Amino acid sequence: MSEPTRTAIATVKLNNGVEMPMEGFGVYQIRDFDQCKQAVLDALEVGYRSIDTAQAYGNEEAVGAAIAQSGIKREEIFLTTKVWISDYGYDKARESVLRSLDKLGTDHLDLTLLHQPFNDYYGAYRALEDLYDQGKTRAIGVSNFYADRYVDLVKFNRVVPAVNQLETHVFQQRRTDRKYLDKYGTQIESWGPFAEGLGGMFTNPVLTRVGQAHGKTAAQTALRFLVQDGVVIIPKTVHKERMQENLDIWDFALTGAEMEAIRGLDQGRSLFMDHESPETVEDFAG
């Protein structure tokens, strides 16, 4: 793949000094091998250099094949995967990460996360700590750990998570969680930055009005708000033109008044699930 003229994506320095792009490409729900491989190739071509996958997505092999075919140097790509709860516990988590490395065709990950805060996440996290010490992953962290379990993990383990990937969008801005993430030095990363279109995201009057002032869409405005507020984002699409549109957020800035208007959209609750609900735990355990 020839090197295109790429959008300059800002980076953030994680708590261990590793630089992470503020915008990456997510492959959630792209399970078909060929479709996922092509989507990652397209994402890399338009300028993405961060790819987020997971064991539970069933597409690590496709992501690895795309990276290999792209011709882009491995060190230029920030690669994330996540350990699923069925592989929690020290030994199972360690072995699962080694399998992920094999599927992805790489000798190291840039970020490895625990996907959910259930089952033996203590044992799994200690496996990640050891893999981090051994250079198998450049950073480790968690996903969907609400403030209580996040602080519990911080207080009783060696390595403070570099990242906590949470449902974060204009309707769920994570103010309480961010207070503790900031306190202990963990970067927030958004899954579902578009809220999967729920809540009228793409036609919201505030986002539309603010976007029009900059020649941008409501979707681009929603993404710009997040990165300008210090949130790493991983929007997902299989359409190349949308990939480019999602990248075209680095050439404008929202004013203070515009940021405050969008902050007013925060509902302070999940639009998908409550990880503190017993029913949610039962669903995942099942």
Residue 143 burial (C-beta neighbours within 10 Å; 0-12, 13-18, 19+) = buried
Catalytic residue among 28, 48, 57, 150: 57
Q: How far apart are CA 166 and CA 173, in angstroms?
A: 10
Contact criterion met (CB below 8 Å) for 217 and 192: no
Q: Give the pairing type, strands 11-13 and 19-21.
A: antiparallel
Sign of CA dihedral 41, 45, 51, 57: negative
Rg (CA), the chain: 18
Residue 90 annotated in active site: no
Question: Which residue, 91, 87, 100, 3, is CA-closest to 49?
Answer: 3
- Which residues are annotated as catalytic? 57
